[in-house]
């Protein structure tokens, strides 16, 4: 293609682009962008922007709003949020595992030790009073099992039993005390009191769980006495050890509930309490005549621990009344026990500061009211 033909073709393309672009604008063909239309002089109800929030058009009325208790995308069965008072009254029974301790008397044909006493299951009362506000609750709860005893005995088929007193001090021997007996009776007594002040809260997004924070006071008394039966009152004796545990323990825990069927729920509760335990221990040796031959006491502070698990089921009789039954397990650790403080060296009857533990379990029953 010749040079002049190439030049003419380029000019034709340029002219087509310019004329085509100008053809997109209305007007006189001058190519200027037109100004936007102005607001009519009559106003027509239009107001220059921006619009004030007070002048914004109203939204939909309350008939299109959902109530506060309506389920959301994250709640299958929302709990009602309210303020109420709740009261629980019922009973608890606790059985202690056989206490640990030394052998109290031996013979070729019979012997008896602390662990031969099997404590009975003892019953007491329990109650809870609290205030519920939305997903928060404050409660005072507790139980008390009064002092009860269990015993066991042994006697040789022939001869006497040896008491592990060792050498009898001369002043005691002068009263007729001996280290032999025709038989022995081992008694064990225990009482258990507990009071708690707790705060509970539930996360509404995870409403099956309830956190627990509180303060716990536990009063645990244990006593063991060994009655040595002699041929005469002066040859008989009663050697006893008594311990008092008064624990003031901050505690934490949680409770979990499930509702497998309508009207019935299953749950579990776990609590751990740790803190100071103020202990008092006593030793006493009395002759069969009533004469006190030995008396000693000691106070100590240990690291007390209470671990508690409760497994339970609820039957919802009405919306505000239900029946609860379960099993409670309590492990008291870091406590003074009679078996640990007992000292058979009656010539130097010092009280050991060694701590031990006691394990309890038993059923619980409650009637629960919500007002």
pLDDT, one tens digit per residue, over 297-314 is 999 999 999 999 999 999
Classify the C-alpha dihedral 184-222-103-288 as positive or negative: negative
CA separation for the pair 225, 99 (Å, rounded)? 13
Is residue 16 domain-resident? no
Is the per-residue pLDDT at 154 higher than 60?
Answer: yes
Chain segment 163-196, per-residue pLDDT in tens: 999 889 999 999 999 999 999 999 999 999 999 9
Is residue 279 domain-resident? yes
Strand partners, 154: 184
Q: Do 291 and 175 meet the contact criterion of CB atoms below 8 Å apart?
A: yes
Is residue 59 domain-resident? no
Lookup result for tokens 């690291």: 303
Is the per-residue pLDDT at 46 higher than 60?
Answer: yes
Is residue 26 domain-resident? no
State phi, psi for 58 to the nearest 5 degrees: -65, 150
Is residue 325 domain-resident? yes
Classify strands 180-181 and 161-162 as parallel, antiparallel or unpaired. antiparallel
- Percent of the chain surpassing pLDDT 90: 60
Is residue 45 domain-resident? no
Lookup result for tokens 């003419």: 8
Give the model's confidence band at 77: pLDDT under 50 very low, under 70 low, under 90 confident, else very high: low
Q: Do 243 and 337 meet the contact criterion of CB atoms below 8 Å apart?
A: yes
* Upstream peptide bond of 50 is cis (omega within 30 degrees of 0): yes
Is the per-residue pLDDT at 127 higher than 70?
Answer: yes
Rg (C-alpha) for the chain, rounded Å, is 42
Is residue 37 domain-resident? no
CA separation for the pair 258, 266 (Å, rounded)? 5
**CB burial readout 88-119, b (16+ within 10 A) else e:** bebebbbebebbebeebbbbeebbbbbbbbeb
Q: Do 123 and 145 meet the contact criterion of CB atoms below 8 Å apart?
A: yes
End-to-end CA distance of the chain: 105
Domain count, the chain: 1
Give the model's confidence band at 65: pLDDT under 50 very low, under 70 low, under 90 confident, else very high: confident
Give the domain extent around 264. 83-370
Is residue 139 domain-resident? yes
CA separation for the pair 283, 275 (Å, rounded)? 26
Q: Do 282 and 242 meet the contact criterion of CB atoms below 8 Å apart?
A: yes
For residue 221, the domain's CATH number is 2.40.128.90
Residues 6+ apart with CB under 8 A from 313: 264, 265, 266, 267, 324, 325, 326
pLDDT at 33: 62
Alpha carbon 359 to chain centroid, angstroms: 16
pLDDT at 348: 85
pLDDT at 19: 44
pLDDT at 20: 45
């Amino acid at each position: 293609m010749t040079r002049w033909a190439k030049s003419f073709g380029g000019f034709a393309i340029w002219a087509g682009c310019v004329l085509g672009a100008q053809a997109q604008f209305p007007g006189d063909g001058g190519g200027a962008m037109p100004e936007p239309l102005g607001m009519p002089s009559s106003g027509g109800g239009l107001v220059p922007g921006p619009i004030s929030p007070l002048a914004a058009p109203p939204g939909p009325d309350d008939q299109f709003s959902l109530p506060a208790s309506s389920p959301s995308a994250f709640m299958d069965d929302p709990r009602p949020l309210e303020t109420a008072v709740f009261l629980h009254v019922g009973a608890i029974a606790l059985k202690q595992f056989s206490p640990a301790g030394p052998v109290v008397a031996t013979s070729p044909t019979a012997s008896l030790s602390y662990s031969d006493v099997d404590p009975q299951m003892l019953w007491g009362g329990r109650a809870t009073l609290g205030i519920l506000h939305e997903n928060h609750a404050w409660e005072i709860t507790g139980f008390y099992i009064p002092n009860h005893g269990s015993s066991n005995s042994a006697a040789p088929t022939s001869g006497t039993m040896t008491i592990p007193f060792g050498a009898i001090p001369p002043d005691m021997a002068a009263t007729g005390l001996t280290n032999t007996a025709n038989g022995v009776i081992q008694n064990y007594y225990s009482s258990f009191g507990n009071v708690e002040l707790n705060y509970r809260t539930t996360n509404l997004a995870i409403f099956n769980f309830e956190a627990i924070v509180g303060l716990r006071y536990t009063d645990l008394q244990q006593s063991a006495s060994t009655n040595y039966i002699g041929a005469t009152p002066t040859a008989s004796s009663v050697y006893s050890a008594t311990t008092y545990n008064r624990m003031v323990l901050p505690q934490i825990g949680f409770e979990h509930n499930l509702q497998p069927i309508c009207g019935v729920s299953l749950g579990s509760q776990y609590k751990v309490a740790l803190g100071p335990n103020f202990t008092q221990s006593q030793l006493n040796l009395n002759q069969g005549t009533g004469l006190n031959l030995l008396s000693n006491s000691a106070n100590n502070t240990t690291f007390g621990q209470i671990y508690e698990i409760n497994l339970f089921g609820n039957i919802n009789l009405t919306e505000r009344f239900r029946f609860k039954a379960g099993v409670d397990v309590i492990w008291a650790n870091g406590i003074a026990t009679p078996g640990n403080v007992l000292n058979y060296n009656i010539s130097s009857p010092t009280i050991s500061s060694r701590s031990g533990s006691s394990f309890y379990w038993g059923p619980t029953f409650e009637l629960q009211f919500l007002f």
